[in-house]
Structure 1
């Protein structure tokens, strides 16, 4: 901690946060437990540096690259804003120089051609324009902090000191690093990298573990037990019980590097498909929907997963998960989903006690829309493969920031038996392990076939947000006469819907 601001009731840092702030190494990386306040401590260093610059009549610049627009805004609202105001409240003389301003702005990247190399060949790829919302703090003396979602464009577009927040969860972390490092390293700027682990397939893992970088990087490591020992006020037993997954607990809180070799969906792949716009029913645009239903048995979860087709991407609109509900309640929940969304196909788990729910759903909603799937080993492998390929192609979006969902999707393992036949296994315990996985797999499978009939609905008009985000704005959808779109459903629907 610098001498600028004494520890006070207004600004309280835990010992490991103070150690992070006091460490003024040029290259610094920290692996911190979830819920440990790593972003708060890192923003403490940034604000402290800006305050010192204000007092010394200097200018400094910091760029924070977060995993999403939402987390960038959280950094501003939960850390940068209150901390800046607190510093101005306790440091005498600062207010006479003026007050800092908190600004929401936009960073625009025009359309351009990008050179790509593949297989010894070089070719140009057209890159559409993009807009990124920024959260900024402007100090009266000219210092500035800019927080925005991470991308190679953003990494190249901003100079000064750099903080990569939750870097292990950045999509395409290696390209972001390749763009950010040269810009930040130029001119002697400082680089800070913080995150919890997210498997071994990302740049954060390489930076945190590579021996040759050990002489360059100052490394900090605070797991949940050390954080609690130093004063973090959380109940470890409650956190562990709430996580309901030993692997996820080991990674998120004990900072273990999980072996992803047997995981069907590794954490890197799961993170790459996460979106802050997914999983919110109010963002439904009125498009065609595909539904997967995992029938509950005993203490398992009953799960309905709703996907909306947006362009060529299947976007999660709603996940309904209920434990210990009867068949009548399951039927009611499915009926409500079929009414709320333009469901063109619903795939249901027909295994065991699923026979009657599937039969009843076909009677209520039509055999052309509802189909049962028997969970044979071959069928499960086919569904899981379809889901994995959709995620690898970035054709699926799932809700961001849900550790229970991430643990469920990660829980399915691939094993090869003595006969050489591959099978998928998961611990199906009372916490609903893998029920969400199979509901999503059923929904993606429902959306993978080309031919379907658009259901007839009343003519309505509604507004929805632009899922792709970078362009901003709204799009208007008006339902028209239903038609059989056949094999070219995706393209014809896209031409009809978007105006």
Structure 2
């Protein structure tokens, strides 16, 4: 291997550091390690288009890159403003934390004075005579208002009010001559992100588009390919997974049609395949729904508490969902996963739940490995209902939940995994003529979280009334 040394003049170095790519590569560290940009990240930083559109896989570093670019521009420009619109509050805070950490590791000679240090905002004072402020502002899932500058719409396809957010952001950059960046993993053939990225409905000629599938990232692929400027149908044959890449992202099978491949390969899923489309799910989610971490944290209910428990142990996780029902409306109060937890511990947790909270009904999966757990609980707690996962029962639970979504009578936390599992439910007609409701298995389970939610929110049907003698009375006169 030959080491090449390129000598730069002082002017060359100064000009390089004056670019976003040079500033980040030459000055920025994260966790005490120099930031090394991927080729597709360098390509993004060099894009001067007013509208940048990025369809990407999960975990390929774009949220991180957005924070770095905003920090670099705040130091290279005076009076610069960067606004992030994120999926939820935690994502909004995370971008500011990244920028704050990288700022702390900048050489002191290149640091501007930090004058505002909040969870969702950073402000830097210029070293020039004007002392102008440059700011990084991060907000959760709402249109930015009154703050002109660059706008980054992270995971735009996953926002409930995506079109409103896009429209509000466009107005801001037009007044400030800034850039509007939309980046997201594909969600479905719906929404403004899909419309602009694919242009299937109409053309958007002012937007430049970048596709970043997983095999372009060195963390996931051993032999990184050059950027693709057209959408491939599946990973190239030469794409090999890195040893520490997620096990579900396997390129050994061509184009696996499951939810994980949609987000990792940057493919769009046809909404017609899902029994519960995103148009129904997303309006019923909110970022302002505090979830309890333990039974003792659940607030005193104003209505009835109902719960569902889907049992898993080896391949799947057990999932618990607790909802509060008030006049037919269900609000999620707690979600908890049990991964690799012995059945004795799962049973002990459910017993504590039933002892601490006034649970009116706990529906427990008694199919297969859950039979013993369900029988033990039902023997000691009359509010425990043992449920058999038959095709007829699944159809009933899925239909009940769809009705709740259609009526907006259920409030769910804005969690990507939960939304993805709900959307993954498919309705299939079997060769026998019966209907099957199920989801394809992924490394995260078999839509177990959805079934726990559906068990909790099912319409309660009492035992069928047996035929009793009826007396018909005819009144004469």
Question: Is 1:10 paired with 2:25?
Answer: no
Change (3 A) 1:196 1:427: closer
Change (3 A) 1:310 1:202: farther
Counterpart CA distance in 2 for 1:216 and 1:335 is 59
Please list every run of 5 or more consecutive structure 1 residues that lacks an aligned counterpart in the other structure: 106-133, 452-499
How big is the shift at 1:76? 0.2
Change (3 A) 1:419 1:66: same
Give the structure-1-normalised TM-score.
0.70
- Structure 2 counterpart of 1:364: 380
Instruction: Please point out which of 451, 454, 458 is paired with 1:438.
Output: 451
Counterpart CA distance in 2 for 1:450 and 1:137 is 57
- Structure 2 counterpart of 1:70: 90
Change (3 A) 1:169 1:284: same
Question: Is 1:185 paired with 2:174?
Answer: yes
How many residues are matched? 403
How big is the shift at 1:263? 1.9
Give the structure-2-normalised TM-score.
0.73
Counterpart CA distance in 1 for 2:68 and 2:84 is 13
Is the 8 Å Cα contact of residues 367 and 387 (structure 2) preserved in structure 1? yes
What are the residue-to-residue correspondences of 1:90-109 with 2, within 5 Å?
91=110, 95=112, 99-104=113-118
Structure 1 stretch displaced more, 409-418 or 335-344? 409-418
What are the residue-to-residue correspondences of 1:443-454 with 2, within 5 Å?
443-445=456-458, 448-449=459-460
Instruction: Please point out which of 241, 251, 275 is paired with 1:264.
Output: 275
Is the 8 Å Cα contact of residues 411 and 433 (structure 1) preserved in structure 2? no
> How well do the aligned residues superpose, as a CA RMSD in angstroms?
3.5
Counterpart CA distance in 2 for 1:239 and 1:400 is 26
Counterpart CA distance in 2 for 1:157 and 1:422 is 52
What are the residue-to-residue correspondences of 1:214-293 with 2, within 5 Å?
214-228=204-218, 229=224, 236=242, 238-241=244-247, 247-266=258-277, 273=285, 275=287, 277=289, 279-281=291-293, 284-287=298-301, 288-293=304-309
Find the residue that maps to 1:155 and give its secondary structure: coil
- Structure 2 counterpart of 1:128: none
Is the 8 Å Cα contact of residues 408 and 436 (structure 1) preserved in structure 2? yes
Question: Is 1:81 paired with 2:94?
Answer: no
Higher strand share: 1
Find the residue that maps to 1:36 and give its secondary structure: coil
- Structure 2 counterpart of 1:208: 197
Counterpart CA distance in 1 for 2:438 and 2:245 is 26
Please list every run of 5 or more consecutive structure 2 residues that lacks an aligned counterpart in the other structure: 1-15, 30-34, 127-131, 219-223, 227-239, 251-255, 463-477
Change (3 A) 1:47 1:230: farther
Is the 8 Å Cα contact of residues 32 and 194 (structure 1) preserved in structure 2? yes
Question: Is 1:137 paired with 2:123?
Answer: yes
